[in-house]
Amino acid sequence: MSNRSTFANLKAFLMKTTQDMQTRYLTAYEKRNELRRKRDAVRARPAQLSDMKAMVAAFVRGQRAQYVAKLEANLAPFARNPEKMRVEAERKHLLTIVGVPGAEFINAKDADGALCALFGEQLVVAMNSALDDCKFPEAGLSLVERDRQLRELDIEIAELDAELEELSIIADEAGIVITGNH
C-alpha cells in the first residue's frame, strides 16, 4: 500500500470521526433542548383542582393550629390566675388577645385565625364548593406527578449536559472544531 493511499485512508477516517463526533454532539444538543422545552411545558401546565383544594385545606388547618397555640399562650395567665377574669378590663383584654371577632383592636390575621379555628372544616367545605364553581383552565398534572416528571427530566438534562461537556473536551483535545448551535 502506498503512502498516498494510507494518507487518503487516514484522512477519510479522521473526517468520518470528526463528522461522527459533530453528529453525536448536535444530536445530544438537540435532545437536551427538546427536554428543556418539555420541562418548561410541564411547569407551565395548570394546577389540578384537587391540589388547589388541598392547598386551601392545609392553609385553613395551619391557621387553626397557629390560632390554638396563640390561644393557649394568651389564656395561660387567666388559667393561672382566674381572678383576672372577674375584672371587666381583663375580660375585654382577654377577648382582644384571643382574636374574637368584634372585640376591640382585633387585626385581620387574628380574625382569619379565629374563623379558621372555629369554622375550619365548614370553611374547607365551603371553599371546595366555591372552587368547584370556578372556571379554571383544563387540569394539568397533579403536583406529585409534576414533581416526578420534573425530576426525571432534570436527570436526563443533566446527563446530556455531562455528555456535551465530555464531547467538547474530547473535541478540544483532538483539535476538532464542532460547528453548529452550541
Task: Tell me what pLDDT residue 182 has.
Answer: 44
Q: How many other CB atoms are there within 10 angstroms of residue 6's CB atom?
A: 10
**Per-domain boundaries in the chain:** 47-140, 143-174
Q: What is the largest CA-CA distance in the chain?
A: 115
Distance CA 46, CA 140 (A): 5
Nearest by Cα to 148 from 42, 6, 29: 42
- Collapsing DSSP states into helix, strand and coil, what is residue 95? helix
What amino acid is encoded at 61 in this protein? R
Other beta carbons within 10 angstroms of residue 134's beta carbon come to 8
Kindly list the distances between the CA atom of residue 109 and the CA atoms of 90, 92, 116, in Å, as whole numbers in the listed order.
Answer: 22, 19, 10
User: Taking the C-alpha atoms of 18, 19, 21 and 27 in order, what is their torsion angle to the nearest 10 degrees?
Assistant: 160
Q: One digit per residue, pLDDT tens: the chain, 182 residues?
A: 677 788 777 777 777 888 888 889 999 999 999 999 999 999 988 888 999 999 999 999 998 888 888 878 777 877 888 887 777 767 666 666 555 555 554 555 667 788 888 899 999 999 999 999 998 888 778 899 999 999 999 999 999 999 999 999 888 888 888 875 54
> Checking phi first, is residue 170 left (phi over 0); if not, alpha (psi -120 to 50) or beta?
alpha
Query: For cell 391540589, what's the residue?
Result: 51
Q: What is the pLDDT of residue 94?
A: 67
pTM score of the predicted model: 0.63
